[in-house]
Amino acid sequence: MRASQFFISTLKEAPADADIVSQKLMLRAGMIRKVGAGIYSWMPMGLRALRKVEAIVREEMNRAGAIEISMPVVQPAALWQETGRWDKMGEELLRFKDRHDRDFVIQPTSEEVVTDIVRGELKSYRQLPKNFYQIQTKFRDERRPRFGVMRGREFTMKDAYSFDRSAEDALKSYDNMFAAYQRVFDRMGLTYRAVAADTGAIGGDRSHEFQVIADTGEDAIVYCPDSDYAANIELAEALAPESARQAPGAEMQKVSTPGVKTIDELVAFLSCDIKETVKAVVVEGDAEDKLPVLLLVRGDHELNEIKGEKLAGVAKPLTFAAPESIVAAFGAQPGSLGPVGFKGKIYADRSVAVMADMVVGGNEDDVHLTGVNFGRDLPEPEVADIRNVLEGDASPDGKGVLAIQRGIEVGHVFYLGTKYSKEMGATFLDMDGKPKHFEMGCYGIGVSRILGAAIEQNHDERGIIWTDALAPFTVVIVPMGMKRSEAVADAAEALYQGLLAKGVDVLLDDRDERPGVLLADSELIGIPHRVVIGDRSLKEGKVEYQHRRDADKTELAAADVLDFMFGKLGI
């Protein structure tokens, strides 16, 4: 592509409302333009990179035997009512009425439509397994769209859905997709980690997220450097401490703690170790009266809400108790709550269960209790893993200690079981002639999000650094003063034609701009390979090559540049 026939539109500064580096760089490099909150146009430069992602995803889906279809963006509510998602999903699901006052949604995913297709099309076990995928526009009406294309409202997603005879076969389909996802992200040259993830409300027992590693990631990823253990922090198990509980060493005492509301204030006030304190979190119960349930974690630990939500008797989704019901149940305001004397259900984290001589809230405003011991001052609690793991915790596989990284979720594979096929009555005739519900899996890749994640992982102060696989152009030729020097123009054109002939995505930057602008733009846009052809060096038979990651230029004989580039590109 010649720049003069393309559209390059870079900005010196990102708009003030851009809130993360990838968004700033995508705006500055002219990849996207904002149309509304969380809604973007893809400009020519961005669209080229997006198509690279789509092509890799499509190739690997096809290679894995998945079959491409395309389901509508606008979908009738009736299908969503069959699975109950019409009611269950929150305001992220964009609902509207058509001119005849009929209800519709804009698809955030397509489980309903694909299951509707399959119940009409697949009649026999002989047609299984099948995996249908699409690369389509999705919409999720985020309350607070942010991070550019990473948490936009309109986005492009690849969603695949597998249909199998049995759970065993479904897990084979799952593994097949898992491997395809590895190929996708390997080919893109991204540093990523596949981590076990929570299966949430859907249930089923297998789910993995593919996380691109980046300090700015929204997700915390837990892994063990000494083994292949890796999980989302939502799922990562915190083992019980190895040490057993010590015998009580102190009497329970009431302590006046005026104005003390937080654990930090408590530790400072009592000059105690934070590991002696216990945080009390009050959540709604799942009975009709919503009678509160008390969750206890050690002062230095954080409640894991996903784990908490799974506890018997706890309302789903997890809901923190309202102040009124806290005061009614405990006789005190938050800040002084504790387990002693509480008549409702109590869950203690595994780390709390081994504590002795605890410091807890006194259920009386501005009062705490010290020297509190289970079995003596209050009954033995129900014990569960309800906290987030910390760096240095023992790995659940017993092979070392845990480390934590930040990640950006770009893919998710999910074994669904028969949830949707049962809700929608989707069956096939099995070998024994009897109808059976399809065993399903669903598999998403955030196609547009990948570009944001790749930039979060790969950039510097000058701009984006693309991998060859994702770059809008693989090579940029920057002729210095092409208009003034015929030799420069000829050399640039010869290299351009030589690369084009081998199918290389090459940009010849023939814009009539100052050299400084051309060089800065190529770095901002992040094209991995750059050849600069200058009048003076060309007279000495030289041109310059620089990879976007290189600190320095490499001087080359002009005559060798094409072969040199073929070598760099592995062609």
Applying CB under 8 A, the residues found at the interface with a copy of itself are: 5-7, 9, 33, 35-36, 39-44, 47, 50, 65, 67-76, 78-79, 91, 94, 96-99, 104, 106, 113, 116-117, 120-121, 130, 132, 137, 139, 141, 143, 153-154
Nearer to a copy of itself, 292 or 446 (CB): 446
Nearest approach in angstroms of CB 151 to a copy of itself is 15
In the structure encoding, which two tokens stand for residue 26, read together?
Answer: 């995508």
Q: State the nearest-atom distance from the C-beta of 98 to a copy of itself, in Å.
A: 5
Structure tokens at 330: 């405990």
| Residue nearer to a copy of itself on the CB measure, 104 or 192 | 104
State the Cα–Cα distance between residues 137 and 150, nearest whole angstrom: 14
- Cβ proximity to a copy of itself, 11 vs 328, nearer residue: 11
The H or E element that residue 464 is part of is strand 463-464
3 or 531: whose CB is closer to a copy of itself? 3
Mention every residue, 6+ apart, whose C-beta is less than 8 A from residue 179.
Answer: 64
Q: Answer positive or negative: Cα dihedral of 531, 535, 539, 540.
A: negative
Q: Which is nearer to a copy of itself, 149 or 359 (CB)?
A: 149
Cα separation, 53 vs 266, whole angstroms: 52
CA angle 203, 230, 23 (to 5 degrees): 90
Which of 254, 346, 245, 236 has the alpha carbon at shortest distance from 291? 346
Instruction: Compute the distance between CA of residue 107 and CA of residue 158 in angstroms, rounded to an integer.
Output: 12
CB 6 to a copy of itself: min, Å: 7
Closest of 69, 6, 4, 12 to residue 521, by C-alpha: 12
Q: Beta strand 278-283 with 293-298: parallel, antiparallel or unpaired?
A: antiparallel
Closest CB 27 distance from a copy of itself, rounded Å: 11
CB of 185 to a copy of itself, least distance (A): 23
Shortest distance in whole angstroms from residue 312 CB to a copy of itself: 33
To the nearest whole angstrom, how small is the minimum distance from the Cβ of residue 272 to a copy of itself? 46
Query: Shortest gap between Cβ of 9 and a copy of itself (angstroms)?
Result: 5
- 42 or 147: CB nearest a copy of itself: 42
- C-beta closer to a copy of itself: residue 105 or 495: 105
d(C-alpha 470, C-alpha 286), whole Å: 48
DSSP per residue over 203-259, as a string?
--S-EEEEEEE-TT-SEEEEE-TTSS-EEETTT---PPPSSPPPPP-S--EEEE-TT
| Backbone angles phi and psi of 423, in degrees to 5 | -60, -30
Instruction: Compute the distance between CA of residue 251 and CA of residue 15 in angstroms, rounded to an integer.
Output: 62
Are residues 140 and 108 in contact, defined by beta-carbon separation less than 8 angstroms? yes
Which CB sits closer to a copy of itself, 342 or 438? Answer: 438
Nearer to a copy of itself, 41 or 497 (CB): 41
Which lies closer to a copy of itself via its Cβ, residue 95 or residue 406? 95
Q: With beta carbons less than 8 A apart as the criterion, state whether 467 and 529 touch.
A: no
In this structure, the number of other CB atoms found within 10 A of the CB of residue 41 comes to 10
Residues in the chain, overall count = 571
Distance of closest approach, residue 477 Cβ to a copy of itself, in angstroms: 20
CB of 193 to a copy of itself, least distance (A): 30
Q: Give the Cα separation of 440 and 459 in Å (integer).
A: 39
Cα 92 to Cα 145: distance, rounded to the nearest angstrom: 11
Query: Which DSSP state fits 240?
Result: P
Which lies closer to a copy of itself via its Cβ, residue 73 or residue 340?
Answer: 73
Distance CA 66, CA 62 (A): 5
Cα-atom radius of gyration of the chain, to the nearest Å?
A: 29
Backbone angles phi, psi at 291, to 5 degrees: -50, 130
- The minimum distance between CB 73 and a copy of itself, in angstroms, equals 5
Minimum distance from CB of 486 to a copy of itself (Å)?
Answer: 23
Residue from 135, 154, 358, 367 nearest 257 by CA: 367
Q: Shortest approach of a copy of itself to residue 63 CB, angstroms?
A: 11
The answer to whether the CB of 238 falls within 8 A of the CB of 389 is yes
Nearer to a copy of itself, 39 or 287 (CB): 39
Strand partners of residue 230: 223
Instruction: Using the minimum distance from each CB to a copy of itself, give the nearer residue, 70 or 253.
Output: 70
